[in-house]
């Protein structure tokens, strides 16, 4: 039979070709809809040109190349918005550069990205082998879940934000992890930029913007209803914002409110602005409804008062005058105001109440005491005790808690939506300057005796100060504690953000009134107790005894240093408690106590196999490297020893006790002190004998500690070795005889990697060399410990030997001298 011809668009197709055409058409359609679903199952893959679309069609996931970039990224964007708006990037730091790209769930349950060479980039992994599904939800959340129970989410993109906060996402703390927004590097480069936005790193209830780690803007503290300097974030049009300060999590989130059709997003953009945007369908564009930081409606500078309803909008606070009167008259108010009269605490400074004003900015020079038991009278007393305090207010509108400001005041406004009462410190002359003459005359009979009494009190106070400087009585110490409380306050709330002042009653309750059952140990500073707060958080309380050798300066040093340091191998300071003569430091609780608890007890030492010991060695080295090189400060610990290495539940080491630590200038190689304090047996010779300390002093201590970890023997007490040598001398002797492995704790057995043990002993001997210049720096120590094949230089003779005379004098092997002032040590 003759084939019938079919015409298509002017072309003739024979009937015999129809089956082939139908097959090809179906194949094309099948390919086009292969990934029109919202999920990817185990064994499946998503390649370039294919996408997942959420069930309601709101979001799409696939590979994209931003702008003119040739790199490929896996991202999520809005499906129905014509302008591609990316809200999440999976591989922002690992772009695919070979033009390919594939997303898959491998047979081990890992969600991975593959490039053209098959090199994997891990996005998420499943804790258990099970059937998995990767699902794109209509919220924009990309989740890895159990295929048979999709409500069991194992991983989600909402916990790993990039630069965008979508409705329902939580910005803030989840456990110990702070979920932040990080800007793109540029509009064509999704890699991490210089700006971050999120909840305060110190768990203080405020949002902040950081530029390269430095705070550039903050919302002010949450006052129970909204943020002090950004009240609009509690309600912005139809969008409902919410701040949740719970015991388990501390986060900020928002939802569309009643208008579920609103498409909104919160972005930390490349210019350093945090923006809230909404899509306006009629205009087919994104509109900015809120952006910070921005210029204030009227910038009246320092100590100025802004009122948009008046003309001019700026005036100086009472007691202040324009700093530059000509500019002020020309309408340029940003130079602000200065005091008419200098403050003088001894001459009766007082406080001027400003009713119903927007409080000053809290970004600079402020402190917060967020204690509901503090009233406005307590705030006044706290501010009066510190001459640097320039203003105070309650934290919330219920009149509880205290804000203190130090220095100039900026951002005070009248006729503002959110107002509270502010009390500004003024000189006594400015407080009465505007009082009517008749009223002043009436006050003279009161004021003159008061001034005379003040002069007498000043004379008495001067005499008392002279006497107290000689006697150092208890009253002086109590006053020091009060000053310390104020000194810690502003630093603790701004520079040292991971820090709180705790109430004495709460600490007493948490520790069971410092019961013996909760006592963890005893040191030269005093006892340590375990405590538990009502929310279940466990703490360790270091309670300084009255006889403690750790004085006020060491106590303050520990607070101001450790609260600025954050590393997985440094103990975390939660806060402190000061009441009268009581001084307490509150740390995270370490369930496995300290390293010496295990090392120097034969039964417990056997629980530490070599793998655990080497893990501890590496952790201590990493913590020390952070202190010496990678932290914002350069810190010399000066008291590194086994009892100052705490162990968490997984035996991760945490360096603790920073009371003797010193900030060290990067321009200096060593410093000198007249007061040598530390622990005998761990101190380097140049420090013990000459008071010279440097990073090499800590290196020496690390070397001693490394030998102790290998041997389970304490250096100061090791007088029983052959020839009455201490641990260093004994290790040196065995090393020279080629018998260094005899140093190993016998409980380690024969299963240890002898090469690794020998290398640790070698590194330890290099650390304890007599001359500081011969010792390695910390970065070299980390490198030497982690490199199995690198050759190491031969060590020179270690610093200290304990002579036969000391051993013959009958000093028991268990003796240990802690935190002693060394006047003479036999050394060679």
Tokens at residue 229, please?
């300097």
DSSP assignment letter at 452? H
- Copy the structure tokens of residue 778: 């910390």
What whole-number distance in Å separates Cα of residue 124 and Cα of residue 566? 26
HEC assignment per residue over 385-400: CCCCEEEEEECCCCCC
Cα–Cα dist 615/620, whole Å: 9
Question: Pseudo-torsion of CA 453, 458, 459, 462, nearest 10°?
Answer: 160
Give dist(CA 631, CA 564) in Å, integer: 9
Report the Cα–Cα distance between both ends of the chain, in Å, rounded.
Answer: 114
Which active-site residues does the annotation give?
639
How many other C-beta atoms are found inside a 10 Å radius of the C-beta of residue 2? 5
How far apart, in Å, are the Cα atoms of 241 and each of 158, 259, 718? 17, 14, 63
CB 781 within 8 A of CB 768: no
Closest CA to 109 of 134, 80, 136: 134
For residue 263 the two structure tokens come to 């498409």
- List C-alpha distances in Å: 421 to 106, 582, 751: 61, 33, 71
**In this structure, what token pair is assigned to residue 49?**
């040109």
Cα–Cα dist 822/683, whole Å = 10
Residue 511 to residues 505, 534, 536, 539, 540: CA-CA distances in angstroms? 10, 11, 12, 9, 9
Q: Of 743, 765, 741, which Cα lies nearest the Cα of 754?
A: 741
Positive/negative CA dihedral, 716, 718, 723, 728: negative
For residue 696, the SS3 value is helix
Find tokens 């000689």 and name the residue: 470
Q: Are 610 and 751 in contact (CB under 8 A)?
A: yes
266's tokens: 């919160």
Residue 808 has which token pair?
């013959």
Decide: 543 and 529 in contact? Cβ < 8 Å. yes
Render 25-67 in DSSP notation, one character per residue: HHHHHHHHTTT-SSEEETT-EEETT-EEE-TTSSEEEEEE--T
Q: Which two structure tokens, joined as six digits, stand for 671?
A: 């410093």
CA angle 404, 410, 412 (to 5 degrees): 85
At residue 329's C-alpha, the angle toward residues 327 and 333, to 5°, is 55
Calpha distance 9→802 (Å, rounded): 103
Who's near 319: CB < 8 A, 6+ residues apart?
339, 340, 341, 352, 424, 426, 427, 430, 431, 433
Q: Helix (H, G, I), strand (E, B), or coil: what is residue 293?
A: coil
Three-class SS of residue 322? strand
820 beta partners = 678
805-821 core/surface letters (b: 16 or more CB in 10 A; e: else): eebeeeeeeeeeebbee
The tokens describing 373, both together, are 């038991």
> Which of 478, 495, 251, 505 is CA-nearest to residue 371?
505
Sheet holding 132-136, edge to edge: 39-41, 132-136, 142-146, 149-156
- The tokens describing 83, both together, are 């302008």
């Amino acid at each position: 039979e003759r084939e019938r011809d079919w015409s298509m668009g002017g072309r003739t197709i024979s009937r015999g070709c129809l089956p082939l055409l139908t097959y090809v058409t179906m194949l094309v359609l099948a390919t086009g809809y292969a990934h029109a679903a919202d999920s990817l199952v185990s064994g499946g893959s998503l390649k370039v040109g294919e996408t997942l679309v959420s069930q309601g069609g709101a979001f799409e996931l696939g590979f994209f190349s931003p702008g003119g970039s040739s790199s490929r990224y896996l991202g999520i964007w809005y499906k129905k918005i014509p302008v591609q708006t990316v809200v999440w990037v999976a591989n922002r730091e690992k772009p695919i550069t070979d033009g390919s790209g594939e997303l898959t769930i491998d047979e081990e349950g890992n969600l991975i990205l593959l490039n053209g060479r098959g090199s994997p980039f891990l996005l998420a992994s499943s804790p258990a082998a099970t059937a998995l599904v990767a699902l794109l939800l209509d919220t924009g959340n990309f989740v890895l879940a159990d295929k048979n129970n999709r409500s069991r989410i194992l991983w989600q993109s909402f916990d790993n934000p990039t630069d965008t906060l979508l409705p329902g996402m939580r910005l803030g703390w989840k456990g110990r992890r702070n979920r932040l927004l990080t800007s793109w590097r540029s509009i064509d480069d999704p890699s991490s930029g210089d700006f971050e936005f999120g909840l305060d790193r110190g768990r203080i209830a405020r949002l902040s913007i950081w530029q390269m780690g430095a705070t550039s803007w903050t919302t002010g503290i949450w006052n129970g209803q909204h943020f002090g300097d950004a009240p609009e974030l509690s309600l912005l049009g139809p969008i409902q914002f919410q701040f949740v300060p719970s015991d388990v999590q501390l986060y900020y989130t928002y939802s569309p409110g009643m208008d579920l059709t609103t498409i909104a997003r919160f972005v930390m953009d490349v210019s350093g602005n945090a923006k809230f945007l909404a899509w306006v369908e009629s205009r087919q564009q994104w509109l900015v409804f809120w952006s910070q930081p921005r210029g204030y409606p009227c910038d009246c500078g320092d100590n100025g008062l802004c009122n948009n309803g008046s003309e001019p909008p700026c005036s100086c606070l009472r007691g202040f005058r324009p700093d530059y009167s000509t500019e002020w008259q020309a309408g340029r108010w940003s130079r602000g105001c200065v005091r008419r009269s200098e403050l003088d605490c001894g001459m009766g400074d007082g406080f001027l109440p400003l009713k119903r004003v927007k409080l000053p900015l809290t970004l600079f020079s402020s402190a917060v005491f967020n204690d509901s038991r503090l009233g406005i009278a307590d705030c006044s007393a706290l501010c009066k005790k510190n001459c640097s305090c320039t203003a105070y207010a309650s934290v919330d509108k219920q009149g509880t808690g205290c804000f203190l400001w130090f220095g100039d005041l900026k951002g005070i406004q009248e006729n503002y939506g959110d107002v509270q009462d502010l009390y500004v410190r003024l000189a006594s002359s400015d407080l009465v300057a505007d009082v009517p003459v008749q009223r002043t005359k009436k006050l003279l009979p009161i004021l003159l005796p008061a001034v005379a009494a003040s002069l007498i009190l000043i004379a008495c106070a001067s005499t008392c100060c002279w006497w107290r400087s000689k006697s150092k009585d208890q009253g002086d110490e109590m006053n020091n504690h009060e000053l310390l409380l104020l000194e810690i306050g502003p630093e603790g709330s701004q520079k040292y953000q991971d820090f709180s002042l705790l109430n004495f009653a709460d600490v007493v309750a948490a520790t069971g009134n410092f019961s013996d059952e909760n006592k963890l140990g005893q040191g030269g500073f005093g006892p340590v107790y375990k405590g538990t707060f009502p929310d279940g958080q466990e703490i360790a309380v270091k309670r300084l005894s009255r006889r403690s050798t750790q004085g006020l300066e060491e106590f303050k040093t520990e607070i101001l240093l450790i609260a600025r340091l954050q590393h997985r191998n440094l103990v975390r300071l939660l806060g402190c408690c000061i009441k009268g003569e009581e001084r307490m430091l509150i740390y995270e609780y370490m369930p496995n106590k300290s390293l010496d608890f295990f090392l120097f007890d034969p039964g417990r030492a056997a629980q530490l196999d070599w793998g655990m010991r080497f893990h501890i060695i590496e952790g201590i080295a990493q913590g020390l490297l952070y202190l010496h090189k990678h932290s914002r400060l350069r810190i010399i610990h000066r008291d590194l020893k086994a009892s100052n290495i705490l162990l968490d539940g997984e035996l991760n080491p945490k360096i603790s006790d920073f009371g003797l630590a010193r900030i060290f200038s990067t321009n200096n190689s060593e410093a000198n002190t007249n007061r040598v304090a530390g622990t005998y047996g761990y101190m380097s010779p140049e420090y013990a004998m000459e008071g010279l300390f440097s990073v090499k002093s800590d290196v020496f201590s690390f070397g001693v500690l490394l030998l102790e970890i290998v041997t389970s023997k304490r250096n100061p007490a090791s007088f029983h070795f052959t020839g009455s040598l201490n641990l260093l001398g004994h290790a040196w002797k065995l090393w020279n005889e080629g018998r260094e492995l005899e140093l190993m704790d016998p409980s380690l057995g024969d299963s240890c990697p002898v090469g690794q043990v020998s290398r640790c002993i070698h590194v330890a001997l290099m650390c304890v060399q007599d001359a500081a210049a011969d010792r390695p720096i910390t970065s070299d120590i980390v490198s030497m410990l982690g490199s199995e094949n690198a050759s190491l230089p031969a060590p020179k003779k270690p610093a200290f030997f304990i002579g036969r005379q000391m051993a013959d004098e009958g000093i028991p092997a268990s003796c240990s001298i802690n935190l002693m002032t060394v006047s003479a040590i036999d050394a060679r």
